[in-house]
Amino acid sequence: CFHYQEEKAIERGILPLLRRATLVQTFGQKDHVCLKEGSINIPPYAPPQKMKTHLVPPETPRSIFVYFRGLFYDTANDPEGGYYARGARASVWENFKNNPLFDISTDHPPTYYEDMQRAIFCLCPLGWAPWSPRLVEAVVFGCIPVIIADDIVLPFADAIPWDEIGVFVAEDDVPKLDTILTSIPMEVILRKQRLLANPSMKQAMLFPQPAQPGDAFHQILNGLARKLPHSKSVYLTPGQKALNWTQGPKGDLKPW
């Protein structure tokens, strides 16, 4: 389903063995044979402990307007430059490499996580796939994700109000990115930042070990529970909205 085998995946479709299964997958792309109806989309993995060690004080000012670190061209796999990211990343570079509001580069500095916490907007463009761990990092570090991927299907839409915390920019509108972002009213920016500061929002995107209530593992299990053919009263006690999947013997929480 990824770029180097996509043609084969499109030709074969979902394997017959899996057509009645619920797929738990990071592959979130609308109208694509690899996205099975009824799938549970999950965030890519980002290391929770590593990210925790790079937290800066919450009062640190956000002095970077737009931040991005990553490839703009993939000359190794796309030497002609017409396929990678459908040209969206190349457009970001060509239009904004000299714009002082845009801190963008192919360098990946040791202060990458700290820099995201000093930025207001973090670009999350598609690459070979519509998503990347950058989306998780932006949410965890309170940087408003600017999602540039026309056909993306985002994880846990019932737990994370993507429209309220992010900014969606059409791939064709990338040349207008500076106008789009500078025209967002300050009160809208502050509202998005307040929502991103909610610990439950960050928790829902991470896979800590052992699992913790409300984390991505819980979101997956809640999604599976909603597919069960019986009512919630079977597995929820009165007053409960979601099952705490970490209840029970501690030994059950250890990975095999």
State the DSSP string of 71-118.
-S--TTT-TTSSSGGGGHHHHHHHHHTT-TTEEEES---TTHHHHHTT
Q: What was the pLDDT predicted at 4?
A: 63
Q: What was the pLDDT predicted at 78?
A: 84
Q: What was the pLDDT predicted at 256?
A: 47
pLDDT, tens digit (0-9, with 9 covering 90-100), for 184-231? 999 999 999 999 999 999 999 999 999 999 999 999 998 888 887 767
Whole-structure pTM value: 0.89
Residue 43 is classified by DSSP as P
With a cut of 50, list the residues of the chain below it in pLDDT.
Answer: 256
Terminal-residue alpha carbon distance, the chain: 28
CATH number of the 48-205 domain = 3.40.50
Whether 65 and 181 have beta carbons less than 8 Å apart is answered as yes
Closest among 46, 1, 48 to 25, alpha carbons compared: 1
Cα–Cα dist 23/1, whole Å: 13
Task: Count CB neighbours of 212 within 10 A.
Answer: 18
Q: What was the pLDDT predicted at 142?
A: 97
Q: What was the pLDDT predicted at 241?
A: 73
Q: What was the pLDDT predicted at 18?
A: 81
Q: What was the pLDDT predicted at 132?
A: 87
